[in-house]
């Protein structure tokens, strides 16, 4: 290890949000493992990220490519950014590899074609499903659902807060550190049950994006009283 930052794996790290997060964290000096269903797919995204880091003068950061299970095994903190349709199967495949670790669940339970309509799962949220599947040995923390992938990828400052939900406060605090490393403000937002609010808000923001032709996010206001 080149520094004392945890190694972060991003499962489903070849999509819009995954590559955006990988880019932000690599720039902040984290060692990154891009995970995908096959190592070949991961390698393509990793190679692009290495080129980008070279361009930006942070070529020394280590970016690896692995299949999802190997990535989950090798990393200390794991982020999950797969489409909802692959959420449960991916979690089941990495359940053993994740024991004792933090899983950052970025999944939003969008059910096409009505992605601008809130359709929460019976368990309440994707985050809650993840905690139920993985059991108490994994600290699931839900985050990043309301950040537009396009903004993360542009690598510019974003006027959007990250609401961080999870049953374990210390795990939430570690994820808030990663949120800040990505250039955003992270806020303690309660237990994993509260992931329902953030995931549902994504559908509402998709509606606003269509209605007002924008890439909307949200910001918590009124905190100056704190």
Instruction: Summarize as ranges the residues that interact with its own copies (CB under 8 A).
Output: 116-120, 124, 148, 151, 158-160, 163, 165, 187-191, 193-194, 196-198, 200-201, 203-205, 207-208, 211-226
Q: In what order do the strands lie in the sheet with 77-80?
A: 63-67, 32-36, 8-11, 77-80, 102-105, 139-142, 161-166, 185-188
Helix pair angle (126-134, 87-98), 10° resolution: 40
Of the two residues 12 and 186, which places its CB atom closer to its own copies in the complex?
186
Nearer residue to its own copies within complex by CB, 15 or 121: 121
Element (H, E) at 74: helix 68-74
Closer by beta carbon to its own copies, 69 or else 193: 193
C-beta closer to its own copies: residue 37 or 172: 172
> Taking the complex as a whole, how short is the minimal distance between the CB of residue 124 and its own copies, in angstroms?
7
Closest distance of CB 130 from its own copies, Å: 16
Write the DSSP assignment of 5-57 as a string of letters: SPPEEEETTTSHHHHHHHHHHHHTT--EEEEESSHHHHHHHHHHHHHHHHHTT
From the list 103, 222, 118, the residue with the least C-alpha distance to 174 is: 103
Q: C-beta of 223: minimal distance to its own copies in Å?
A: 5
| Cα atoms in the 13 Å half-sphere on the side-chain side of 117 | 5
The smaller minimum CB distance to its own copies, of residues 67 and 199, is found at 199
Residue 143 CA, distance from chain mean position: 6
Closer Cβ to its own copies, 86 or 215, answer by number: 215
Q: Residue 90 CB, nearest distance to its own copies (Å)?
A: 24
CB of 107 vs its own copies, minimal distance in Å? 16
Q: Which residues touch 156 (CB under 8 Å, ≥6 apart)?
A: none
Query: Whole-number minimum distance, CB 27 to its own copies, in Å?
Result: 21
């Amino acid at each position: 290890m080149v520094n004392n930052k945890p190694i972060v794996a991003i499962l489903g790290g070849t999509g819009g949000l995954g590559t955006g997060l990988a880019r932000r964290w690599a720039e902040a000096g984290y060692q990154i493992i891009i995970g995908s269903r096959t190592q070949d797919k991961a390698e393509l995204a990793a190679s692009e990220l290495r080129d980008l880091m070279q361009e930006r003068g942070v070529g020394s950061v280590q970016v690896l490519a692995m299949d999802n299970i190997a990535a989950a095994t090798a990393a200390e903190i794991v982020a999950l950014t797969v489409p909802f349709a692959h959420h449960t199967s991916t979690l089941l495949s990495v359940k053993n590899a994740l024991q004792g670790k933090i899983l950052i669940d970025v999944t939003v339970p969008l059910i096409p074609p009505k992605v601008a309509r809130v359709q929460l799962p019976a368990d309440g949220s994707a985050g809650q499903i993840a905690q139920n599947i993985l059991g108490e040995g994994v600290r699931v923390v839900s985050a990043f659902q309301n950040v537009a992938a396009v903004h993360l990828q542009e690598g510019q400052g974003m006027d959007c807060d990250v609401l961080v939900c999870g049953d374990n406060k210390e795990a939430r605090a570690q994820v808030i550190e990663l949120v800040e490393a990505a250039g955003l403000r992270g806020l303690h937002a309660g237990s994993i049950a509260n992931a329902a609010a953030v995931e549902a808000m994504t559908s509402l923001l998709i509606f606003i994006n269509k209605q007002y032709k924008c890439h909307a996010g949200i910001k918590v206001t009124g905190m100056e009283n704190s």
